[in-house]
Every structure is written in C-alpha cells, then in structure tokens.
Chain A
Amino acid sequence: MIDWHHENGALGVEAVGLTMRFGSFTALDAVSIRIRPGSFHALLGENGAGKSTFVKCLMGFYQASDGDILVGGHEVHMTHPRVAQGLGLGMVYQHFTLVPSLTGAENLVISRGDVPMRIDWARENRDLRAFMARMPFTAPLDTPVADLSAGEKQKLEILKQLYLGHRFLVLDEPTSVLTPQEATEILSHVRALTQAGEITVLMITHKFREVTEFADEVTVLRNGIHAGHGRVGDLSHADMARMMIGERQSQPIPDRAGTPGATVLSLHDIRALDRSGLREIAIRDLKVRAGEIVGIAGISGNGQSDLMEILTGQRSLLSGEMRVHDTPYHARRPEAQRLKVRYLPEEPLHNACAPRMSVADNLALRSFDDGRGIWLDRAGIAARAKTRIAEFDIKTRSPEAPVRALSGGNVQRTALARELTGDVDLLIVANPCFGLDFAATEAIHDRIMAARNSGTAVLMISEDLDELLKLADRIIVMAEGTLVHETPAASADLAMLGQYMSGHA
C-alpha cells in the first residue's frame, strides 16, 4: 500500500551541463535546463535534436557522459531507471504501455513495484476508488484497456504515474494518437495539476499550439545544443520555429497551381472485411481527380490501413469496384505500370523497401523489370541510383549500403525518389512524414505538392491533421471503416473535423 501523505508537492528537476556522447558522436552537448516545481515545461526540437536523449538521461535509461542532475535541489546519480522512479520521476510514452487484456484497476495495481504474491482485490479496489475520488479526472477502472478509447488510455497512463506517487512527469508526445478534443481535455487536466502544485511536467512535443495553450515555459534543443528558452507568453510561433530550425531557410510550400482535371481514381460501393475480419470497411464513393490532393483524415485504427490494403490490392473485396482512368484496377504490377499508379505506404522501411537490399536496388523496385528479356540491368540500376541519390539528396554511405542503415528521413526519400520518378498519374500515400523531422517533412511535402501541381492525382491518408490542412484540397474524414464527412480543406472547421474523427458528430 502506498502512503500518499508525504508525496504531495511538485518536484523540481535541473540539468546542469548535461552531455551525452555515443562514440565520437555528441548527442547532447552541455545542456542546462531548469524545470521549476509546479511548472508545465515544453521541450521542443526536431527529430534527432537530442530531446529523447535528454529525457533518457533524466530518467536513468542513459548515464550522461558529463554534467549533473539535480532533483528537488539535491544532486543525484541516475544510474538506473529505478533510481529515477524512486525519486518520484515518471514517464508517459508516446505509445501506450498498458496491458490491453487487463482492466484499468489491474493495470494500476501490477504497475506497482511492491505487488504481493496474493493480491487482496477488495482492499485494492477500495483504495483505487479513494484514489480516483481525489483525482481531478478519472478513467474507467473495470473495463479491459483494449476496450477504452485512446483518450481514456492516455488518461489512465497519466493516472498510473500519479498512482505510483510520481511528482515529476515526462510526457513524450502524449497527444499524437488523440483527437484534438481529447488532447485539449487531457492537457487541461495536466495543466490544472501543475497549477495546483501537485506535479511538474516536462512535455516533448512538435505541436506549437499545445505549447502556447498549455505550457508555462519552453526550451528548444537543436543538434544536441540548448537553442533557446523562454516563457511561453514572450515567444511567438515564429520565434519558436526559428530556434528549432536555426538559420536554415525553411522552404515555403509551393503554391497550388492549376485546377483539378479528369477523375483518375474512383472507388465505387467497395465493401471488404477489415484485418480482424469482424468489421466491414465500406467506401461508397471516392473520387480523386488529376491535379488535386484528397486527404483522408482519421484517428489511427478507423480503417485507414485497411483502405490502403484495398488500394494496393492486398485485400479481397466483397463487392464494388476500383477504377483508374476508367478502367478496372486490381493493383497488379502490369496495371500499376500501365496506368502510372505509384504508392508511398506508411513506415517505408517495412512497407515500401526491402531493408536488407541496397539503396540502389531499392530505388529500382519499380523499374527493374522494365523492357524485355530476363536479365537484370545491373549497370543501369547502378547508374540510375546515382542520379536519384543526387537529385533527391539521399544521404547514404554509398549506393550499395543496405537501406536499413539509413535514417528515417532518408529511407522515405529513397521511397519517394523511386515513386515520383517518371510520369505519375496517381500517387497514393499514407502517413508520409510519420516520425520525420521538420526539414525532411518540408522536403517531402514540397515533392507531393509539386506532383499535384504537375497534374498528378494524389490520395493522401494521414493521421496528422495539420499535414492534411496544409496540403490537401479536399479532406474526407474516415471513421469506423467508412467515409463520414467531406470538406474543402480551405474552409475546414477544426472542431467539426475532430468531432467526425472521434465519431461524435
């Protein structure tokens, strides 16, 4: 049983000259951050800026090469994650760590370090209810976690940290899987807890909106260096962006040009079973015209990946028809080549690349069987790879390096270089920038917009609403396996989209 009484009060944490080296590479270079007790502190930075390295040092997953960590004003040696937990430091990860088949109550109890061999559930339940009553928000305790919504799961994750008596919480992109409404609700609760002086929060995020609405202070990291810090009220979005990306010129999205042309892709009365075989995916009518980007919005798990499998011909249809250029389309290779259909599935390393094959080979996946004869044109593959690598600025040791040795952004560039080379009439993309940093995202958005402007029909399935608002001409919301709402992106109402996405409209 945990004694709550002496565990009240937010905890201040300070890092002084924290440095982390991996071999000759310095991931974190003398970073000093002071997180006041009871503050809501945001940590901004691109991928690879050192945010997660910093947090891992704080939480004892890494031992810093140099520098000190102070918790509650006392210097501590973070030799192990258990040390951090013992001091009251907790972390909420981007992806859920709850056991899906257990209930909320069971998850909370087993997360404790001191669970006895035989659990007295009557007493635990009594204690849990008393605990919940003290909390400013609650989550269902008696439902298996698998049946909870993403928002409820995230609430439970935060409640778990509070239940464990942690008074300094690191939130690692806590809203990436939530609807805007859920995100706002949860961050409001977290903010209220910090204002009440119960906890201190350090939140890693990419979303400026969350920083300005909820955080008190913000620290920006860039290339492992402390790039800026300030009170949120004193900084504009432009200031933060400048700190984050430094002197680099961020390229504006190319202007939209041209008007949509003829229909390229049309799905008509499509019905198919989803991956579990229990739910039906039903697309009544979906058309994408040349020179427009149609965005499919939705929270992950509402049938988007099933739609992608239908579009790539990997899911058999119960009924309906897919047409490209008004001819029936089954996504077979000759059809895709003849009708100039290209794909950029999510997680390109797993879905669009052969990880152990070379960059050059991966660039040739579309074209290796062009022309007649049975022989592989190895010289041609090598020569074209060189051109593509230069043209798309793919950073690799050599064209012969396996593609899995590349960073995420460069894997995506490899896939993009392949799919956008030559004439493309229809481009189907899914979450193209998931996990990529600012610069890589910009570059990929530019390419997709450029393809649209040159007359390619683009269907873009994305869980990132900001991305869709930026790129798409039309946004269609997918929820529970069907398309539920359509709106021109220019006049899209964020709240309305969020409601449709969460199925509450």
Chain B
Amino acid sequence: MADQALHGRRLPVRAAALETLLPRIEAVAIPAIGLIGGFAIFAVFLLSQGKSPVEFATLVWKAGYSSAFSLQNTFSRVAPLLFAALCVALPARLGLVVIGGEGAIVLGGLGAGVAGVALAGLPSVMGFAGMVIAAMGLAGLWMGLVGVMRVKRGVNETIASLLMAYIAIALFNHFVETVFRDPASLNKPSTAPLPDGLRVGDMPVITTHWGLIVGICACIACWVLIERTKLGFAARLAGDSARAAKVQGLPVDRLIIGFMALGGALAGLAGLFEVAAVHGSANASLIAGYGYTGILVSFLARHNPLAIIPVAILLGGIEASSGLIQRRMDLPDATNLVLQGMIFVAILFSETLTGRLKLLQPGTWGRT
C-alpha cells in the first residue's frame, strides 16, 4: 500500500534535501527534548527540596562558564569526558552498549604512570611515546578482551565491561598500593611522581592542559573514521545489520573486537592525561567517575563523535560547578548524580520518539 502511495509521484530535488535535512533535525531535536525533560524533572526535585532551580542554573553558569578561571575548570573536566564518551560511541556504532569505560581510564592511568617512571632516563619524547603506548595498549587490550568474550562466547558486553571495570579498579588499587607504590606517598598510595619532562603542561591562551585539544582532535578523527572511510562504512553496516554484513563476507567479529579495543585505547588516553597533566602520578584520584559520565555524554550525543564535543562541555560545566553548588545551596555532592541520572532516563525515553515526531518525517512532507 505504501508502494501504491509512492507510485504516482515523482519527487524532485526538494525531497532529496528533506531526506537529508529532516533526519539531522530529528537527531538534534530528540536529545534536546530529552535534555530539557531531564532538567525539568530535576527542577521539580529541587523545588521539592525547597531549593530554587533558577539559583542552580545561575550557579552552574557562574562556576562553569562565566570567567576564564571557571572555563579552565570546566575544560579540564571536558578532556577526560571526551575520551570516555568515545569509548561508548565507537562500540555503539557496531550496536554494542559498553558502560565500563571507567576501567579502561584507570588502567590507562596506571600504564602511563608506571611507564613514565620506568622510562624516566630516556629522552622525554621517547619516554612520552612509551607512556602513550602503555596507556593505550593496556586499556585497549582490556576492552578488546570484552570484545573477544562477546564474539567468541556470546558474553553480554554491557555487563562484562561493567564487571571488568570493577576488576580493573581493584587491580589498580592493588598495584598502586603494592608493587608500584612510591614509599614517599604515605596517606595516599601513589606511584612515584612523574619526572617533569614527562608532564603535560597547559596550552597557551586557554590555560587548560593539552588533553582538551587532543580529545577534540580524537572526536573529529573518530567522526572521519566512521563517516568517511571504508572501515567506518563496514562498521556502520555491521552495526545496523550484522547478518547482512556477514552475508557480504565482512569480518564482523574482527570489527567488533577492533572497535572495542580502539574505544578502550582512547579511554586509556583519558587516564594518561589525568596522570600526566593533573595528578602527576597514578593514584585513587583517578577513579573519579568520568567513565560513567562519559556514557551519558555519548548517549546525549547519540553516539555522534562530533556532537560529543559540545555535550561534554555542557556536562563538564555542570560537574565543575558541583563544589560551588554544595557550598552555596547547601546541597550534597550527590545532587550532581541525581541530575545526571534524571537526564539519562529522559534521554533513553526520548530515544523512543525516533520516527514518531510527525513533523520530522520526510513522508509527511512528501505527501503534500
């Protein structure tokens, strides 16, 4: 019947334009609806606590974006969020839901911290290269392992990655407190501090460490990989229909393992920058929940690497303002998590609107 409806009509250029334009508008509109819905629920929650949502928004603005200092504070949180979100977005294009990026971040930090100390004698370029290899390698292997379990034994990657994150954190704590512990770190077990030559400094103008720009470049590179390369096409195909991809003879299993590993390796970079630019050594401060916020970032961005950048800046700002909100509004630290949780549920709900907003369906306009 739909076929019948199409028969009589020859649709010219306008239809083709709508066909590309409307899905893009839909891709922005739906998460926007979810985001607004999440904030609305959170506003009700604040009101129920006798707090003002307007004051909350004002404080987020003030602490997150209003001055050079607050922007710097925000940006330093954006960098790990970018990498953590990519660790969700890349597997998502293959139809996999990965929520254990935190484990890859922690292991990346451990690898970078240990390698940095071990390679202190080398020229700093080589030393830093060693740190990158260690961080990306360790974290990539970890997530790749989740992919292998998925492909070979059908183990659910969502649960496996989360449980593996707990294991990764436990291993991290074990090693930091035993083998790699710096005897000088008394109250807070840490690896030995990195030599100055292997630290990552701040960029000029915006005084934020280089992780931000590397993260933005990684997002752009991932977008190009997915949208513009043959490999990305194969991955999108496998993500949309694994069966069709297999009939086409594509190595779906290897694509899954590869994209999982790549996502993990990028999350490992988040750990590297946290260690080399922020903490100076690998210690428990690394376990800050960026991996979990990254899940929210990627879902809000609908797993589009370019959209991850603005979304990470938004959520980074909210995270950066949590201190001020605690002090000024007398709300606990967990308020931030309440907000994130509410946005996440609203986002998941908004996904079900896909294809249901009449105004945004090309068919609606084609019939006129």
Please, which residue of chain A has its CB at the minimum distance from the CB of B234? A369
In the assembled complex, the CB of A111 is this many whole angstroms from the nearest CB of chain B, namely: 30
B166 within 8 A of A: no
Please, which residue of chain A has its CB at the minimum distance from the CB of B6? A395
B19 within 8 A of A: yes
Rounded to whole angstroms, the CA-CA distance of A351 and B245 in the bound complex is 8
Q: 1/0 contact trace for A346-375 toward B, CB 8 Å?
A: 000011111111000100111011000111
Q: Tell me whether A369 and B247 are in contact in the complex, defined as CB-CB below 8 angstroms, given that A354-B237, A407-B2, A407-B6 are known contacts.
A: no
Q: How large is the interface on A (under 10, 10 to 19, 20 to 34, 35 or more residues)?
A: 35 or more
Q: Which of B67-75, B114-122, B224-232 contacts A (4 or more CB under 8 A)?
A: B224-232
Q: Is the CB of B6 within 8 A of A397?
A: yes
Q: Tell me whether A401 and B19 are in contact in the complex, defined as CB-CB below 8 angstroms, given that A375-B230, A376-B229 are known contacts.
A: yes
Tally of contacts, chain A with chain B, CB under 8 A: 114
Q: Is the CB of B1 within 8 A of A22?
A: yes
B16 within 8 A of A: yes
Q: Which of A141-149, A327-335, A447-455 contacts B (4 or more CB under 8 A)?
A: A327-335
B217 within 8 A of A: no
Report A-chain residues with C-beta under 8 Å of the C-beta of B3.
48, 395, 407-410
From B240, B249, B362, B363, contact of A335 by CB (8 A)? B249
B367 within 8 A of A: yes
Q: Is the CB of B250 within 8 A of A397?
A: no
Rounded to whole angstroms, the CA-CA distance of A92 and B367 in the bound complex is 35
Q: Is the CB of B367 within 8 A of A24?
A: yes
Report A-chain residues with C-beta under 8 Å of the C-beta of B229.
374-376
Q: 1/0 contact trace for A8-27 toward B, CB 8 Å?
A: 00000000000000111101
Please, which residue of chain B has its CB at the minimum distance from the CB of A402? B23
Report B-chain residues with C-beta under 8 Å of the C-beta of A373.
230
Report B-chain residues with C-beta under 8 Å of the C-beta of A396.
6
In the assembled complex, the CB of B304 is this many whole angstroms from the nearest CB of chain A, namely: 14
In the assembled complex, the CB of B154 is this many whole angstroms from the nearest CB of chain A, namely: 13
Report A-chain residues with C-beta under 8 Å of the C-beta of B237.
354, 357, 361, 365
A502 within 8 A of B: no
Report B-chain residues with C-beta under 8 Å of the C-beta of A343.
247
A314 within 8 A of B: yes
A345 within 8 A of B: yes
Q: Is the CB of B244 within 8 A of A333?
A: no
Report B-chain residues with C-beta under 8 Å of the C-beta of A399.
16
Q: Which of B1, B2, B232, B240 has the most CB of A within 10 A?
A: B1
Q: Is the CB of A374 within 8 A of B231?
A: yes
Q: Is the CB of A397 within 8 A of B248?
A: no
Q: 1/0 contact trace for A316-334 toward B, CB 8 Å?
A: 0000000000000001111
Q: Is the CB of A365 within 8 A of B244?
A: yes
Q: How large is the interface on B (under 10, 10 to 19, 20 to 34, 35 or more residues)?
A: 35 or more
Please, which residue of chain B has its CB at the minimum distance from the CB of A407? B3
Q: Tell me whether A354 and B241 are in contact in the complex, defined as CB-CB below 8 angstroms, given that A25-B1, A397-B362, A400-B19 are known contacts.
A: yes
In the assembled complex, the CB of B235 is this many whole angstroms from the nearest CB of chain A, namely: 11
From B4, B234, B366, contact of A397 by CB (8 A)? B366
Rounded to whole angstroms, the CA-CA distance of A354 and B95 in the bound complex is 12
Q: Is the CB of A351 within 8 A of B244?
A: yes
Q: 1/0 contact trace for B1-29 toward A, CB 8 Å?
A: 11111110001000110111000000000
Report B-chain residues with C-beta under 8 Å of the C-beta of A364.
233
Please, which residue of chain B has its CB at the minimum distance from the CB of A333? B249
Q: 1/0 contact trace for B235-255 toward A, CB 8 Å?
A: 011001101111111110000
Q: Is the CB of B1 within 8 A of A397?
A: no
Q: Is the CB of A314 within 8 A of B246?
A: yes
Q: Is the CB of B363 within 8 A of A352?
A: no
Rounded to whole angstroms, the CA-CA distance of A354 and B15 in the bound complex is 22
From A336, A353, A400, A405, contact of B241 by CB (8 A)? A353
Rounded to whole angstroms, the CA-CA distance of A314 and B2 in the bound complex is 34
Please, which residue of chain A has its CB at the minimum distance from the CB of B21? A400
Q: Is the CB of A333 within 8 A of B248?
A: yes
Report B-chain residues with C-beta under 8 Å of the C-beta of A337.
249
Rounded to whole angstroms, the CA-CA distance of A48 and B250 in the bound complex is 35
In the assembled complex, the CB of B17 is this many whole angstroms from the nearest CB of chain A, namely: 8
A313 within 8 A of B: yes
Report B-chain residues with C-beta under 8 Å of the C-beta of A398.
11, 15-16, 18-19, 362
Sort A-B residue pairs by CB-CB distance and give the 6 closest, nearest first: A333-B249, A407-B3, A354-B240, A398-B16, A400-B19, A398-B19
| B contacts, CB < 8 Å to A | 1-7, 11, 15-16, 18-20, 228-234, 236-237, 240-241, 243-251, 362-363, 366-367
Additional A-B contacts beyond A25-B1, A353-B241, A355-B241 (19; CB < 8 A): A48-B1, A48-B4, A53-B1, A223-B4, A312-B246, A336-B249, A343-B247, A350-B244, A354-B237, A354-B240, A365-B237, A368-B233, A373-B230, A376-B230, A376-B233, A397-B6, A398-B19, A398-B362, A400-B20
Interface pairs (30), CB distance under 8 Å:
A22-B1, A25-B4, A25-B5, A312-B246, A312-B249, A314-B246, A332-B251, A333-B250, A351-B247, A352-B247, A354-B236, A354-B237, A354-B244, A357-B237, A361-B236, A364-B233, A365-B237, A368-B233, A375-B228, A376-B228, A376-B232, A378-B228, A397-B15, A397-B366, A398-B16, A399-B16, A405-B363, A407-B3, A407-B6, A410-B3
